[in-house]
Structure 1
Amino acid sequence: MEGPDRRVSVVVITYNRRDELDAALQRLERLPERPCVVVVDNGSADGTADMVLSRHPRVRLVGLQRNLGAVGRNVGVATVDTPYVAFCDDDTYYDPGALSLAADLLDEHPALAVVTASILVEPGGALDPICSEMAQSPLKRPAGIPGHPLLSFLAGVSVVRREAFLAAGGFSERLWLGGEEELLASDLARAGWSMSYVPEVVAHHQASKLRDPHLRRQHGIRNTLWFTWLRRPLRSALLRTVRHLARVPRDRISLYAVAEALRGLPWVIRERNVVPAEVERGYRLLDHMQLTSKARKYVS
């Protein structure tokens, strides 16, 4: 495609990673698609906003007063009007042409809501093990849908259909950050949307050295438990909870996660909305693979 691809915008959430964001924006600005880029600054205190304004004047900056986590993506999506939105973290970036390829697929397949890219881990460019898991998905592929079918996705390397994202309500304020995609994906699936891993769409991930791995693990364990009780039938929820807790380390991080999950039990019960039987059948197919996956590590 010659000239900017007006079908897709990029939304980047960031928090106190000024230099890493600077590098990510430089890569985005070199893409042949020349997408509209929106940075949602989750209340950084390290000069992130000043850096964006001075070094990247074409980037649209949305400054928040506090860290909303994944909900910052909802804010970013609300500022654009393109049919598709690529989510990008401040430590991920897309290959040239990847955004246009994802947009082509979304154009061609109106029932497709999410295209998740393959992930090359930098430095070195090795394929992330989670990609092998996604490629082995046991789910039945809907007729005509490209790639490998999913019931969740990886937000930092996914392109979403804006209409579907908004109709499903975006990311939950409750979950904040860490495995936040699973709940949104369940609501997309409930509404009849498809999600796919498409290896030909390529992204890169160079994990930030500024992340808090303990907090991310704590939230990931908590959010998995919350999702399980919000959307899975009773028997499946009990079984998945037992299996999930059997895998996590016996340490204070896991203890904090379980304590947080239990404190949220009142609202989880109020908002519990079990998925339809056809979606639950898909989860059952995925349960064993996910719980024995070497790509899913509960360590920090």
Structure 2
Amino acid sequence: MLKQILPIDASRYQNHAIHGADRCWAETNCYVDVMVELLHGLELEPIAALPFTLCIDFEGDQWTFFKFPHQDLFTLFGIEIQELNPWLSFATHVEEQVSLGRPVLVEVDSYFLPDTAGTAYQTEHVKTTIAVNAVDIENARLGYFHGQGYYELDGENCRELLQLDGIPNPRVLPPYIEYLKLRPQLIETDRRPLPQKSVEVLRRNLALTPSDNPFTRFKERFEADLDWLMAESIETFHKYSFATLRQYGACFELVETYLRWLERHGETGLNGAVEAFGSLSTTAKAFQFQLARAMARKRALDTSTINTMGEHWEQGMQTLRQKYA
């Protein structure tokens, strides 16, 4: 029997504008992308919950793998996210939680997800996060949010993904699983408009932003990495870029998106920050291509572009701190 939370048809699903064709960065990271579409499917506005993107920092060997903070989702939407203890089979837990009306976030192997065709499907074992909305264990069917949309899975791929055949290898740890408890009644007494509540979340997140310019630290590490990067393969480039350039580039495009949303809802004085973070994001995209070409041709790379991105960061943060801090 099919257990389903939202009555969604994958063939008719329209993804959120954050995953529109006009974006500079088509994807962000697996957790943010799936949450954007899950919130969208729940008829909630994910853009309102984007203030956390301002907190991204250079962490020494990578930029922050940014994720929606649980506190922000609860403040804005009454969504409570809890970790699930997988003491039974993976599939049993998914079916149980979905039957209770709780979407399930679970780490799975992209090797069995046809929506990753051209990247990982049937070619590479890559961890990713999906949000399960519908499941039919008996007939091996699954409806799930992933990446930029909503998809349906059946047959052998579904059986492999849910580990329905036999006992899993005891050396393979169970996946990390979370479930969403949708409790809007807990915030119904707060009658403020969503943009006003979002500004409250923005003020809270501004206090968590880096105290110094992270691009200064990133440039020092990047220049130290260049010698070995130039001798590496294109596969290493993709891994390095995902942990650094792509991570902050996509993140600051979301900052721009959030600030434009605030402007549409009456916030003023944000134009300088909108332009600064937008320029930072597009510069990161261009710099990523420059790095790829430099590695392919074994040629020197001008790193002064990182200074420019740092200047954009300073300008944008100064505008927001003066207005909201």
Superposed pair shares fold, TM > 0.5: no
Per chain length, whose mean CA-contact separation is higher, i.e. which structure has more relative contact order (CA < 8 Å, sep 6+)? 2
Higher helix share: 2
